[in-house]
Amino acid sequence: MAKTDAVPVLELAGIGKEFGAIRALHDVDMQILPGEVVGLMGDNGAGKSTLVKIIAGNFRPSHGEIRFAGSAVQFNRPVDARAVGIEVVYQDLALSDNLTAAANVFLGRELKRKFGPIALLDHKAMAARALELFGELRSETRPDDLVKQMSGGQRQAVAIARTRLSNARLVMMDEPTAAISVRQVEQVLGLIHRLKEQGVAVMLISHRMPDVFAVCDRVVVMRRGEKRADKPIHQTSPEEVTALITGAKEAA
């Protein structure tokens, strides 16, 4: 996968969204290239989640167009977004507590073995693949353990492992480092680097400035439903980004 590929994985043009009288997003343009890590920052209510949900297919935008790998797409359901190669790691992780780690990783796309007309789950293959993925993430997570009994970092690993199953071309992570230990933050950031190496575009939605500056190539700042800044990371500073988030600086 060539990094010089000029076609952006994702291109947003004039995206807007209204909920009744509330304007949640207004005229957002954005591009993400393959293998690029973009940090999406903003205060609560700045429109980050709405933007993510539009890209993930949870909402239809009221205005504007989404182009994926050069062609216009319309997502009616999250499944549509997944089908083209957009994966989301949700903040609340969207895991089923009562299932095992492997079951959660493969939820909705279980591996099966055919026995005549009946397709039964291939537990062994799923456990092996899940263990491999956890190994890649360097997470000490046993595929057969219930998610209920896991730590925050392990849950994160399960949720991220899920995105690695499919050949996702864009992975959006909603606050992946918010609820985990320092050591596990390192692991998650390491994973983001590994996704990047493989040409996967990553959008990191985070409040944690150090994390964004550690892994992102570019940072996008949202405020009051609008994009206020879109800068390569080496041309900005945490101070400037903070000023943009709080509104001390209007735009950059």
Partner 1 sequence: MAMPLESPITFSNVGRIRWWQRGIFASQTGYVLLALAALLVIMHFASPYFFTEGNMQNVAKNFSFIAIATLGVTFVIITGGIDLSVGSMMCFSAMITSMVMTELSAPGSAAGSLFVHMAADGKTVLANVPGLILLVSILAGLGVALIAGLLNGFCIAVLGLSPFVTTLGMLSIVRGLGYVVSNGRGSFPGGPDADYFYAATSGDVFGVPVPFIYLVILALAMAVVLHHTSFGRHVFALGGNEKAAELTGIPVVRVKVEVYVICALAAGLQGIIISGWLGSAPANMATSYELNVIAAAVIGGANLAGGIGGPLGAIVGCVLLEVIRNGLVLAQVSSYWQQTLVGVIIILAVLVDRIRSRMT
- CA dihedral sign, ordered 153, 156, 157, 158: positive
State which of residues 5, 140, 197, 239 lies at the interface with partner 1 (CB under 8 A).
Answer: 140
Token pair for 9: 């994985």
Minimum distance from residue 1 beta carbon to partner 1 (Å):
22
Binding-residue total with partner 1 (CB under 8 A): 44
State which of residues 29, 65, 132, 250 lies at the interface with partner 1 (CB under 8 A).
Answer: 132
**Does residue 99 belong to the site contacting partner 1 (CB under 8 A)?**
yes
| 202 bridge partner residues | 37, 171
**Does residue 73 belong to the site contacting partner 1 (CB under 8 A)?**
no
State which of residues 30, 32, 86, 95 lies at the interface with partner 1 (CB under 8 A).
Answer: 95
State which of residues 125, 178, 209, 243 lies at the interface with partner 1 (CB under 8 A).
Answer: 125
Token pair for 32: 């993400």
**Does residue 64 belong to the site contacting partner 1 (CB under 8 A)?**
no
Q: Amino acid letter at 187?
A: Q
- CA dihedral sign, ordered 55, 61, 63, 65: positive
CA 163, distance to chain mean position in Å, is 9
Select the span of 20-28, 88-96, 189-197, 221-229 touching partner 1 (CB under 8 A): 88-96
In our burial notation (b when 16+ CB lie closer than 10 A, e otherwise), range 126-156 reads bbebbbebbeebebebbbeeebeebeebbbb
Q: Which residues bind partner 1 (CB under 8 A)?
A: 78-79, 82, 88, 90, 92-99, 103, 107-110, 112, 118-121, 123-125, 127-129, 131-132, 134-136, 138-142, 145-146, 149, 154, 162
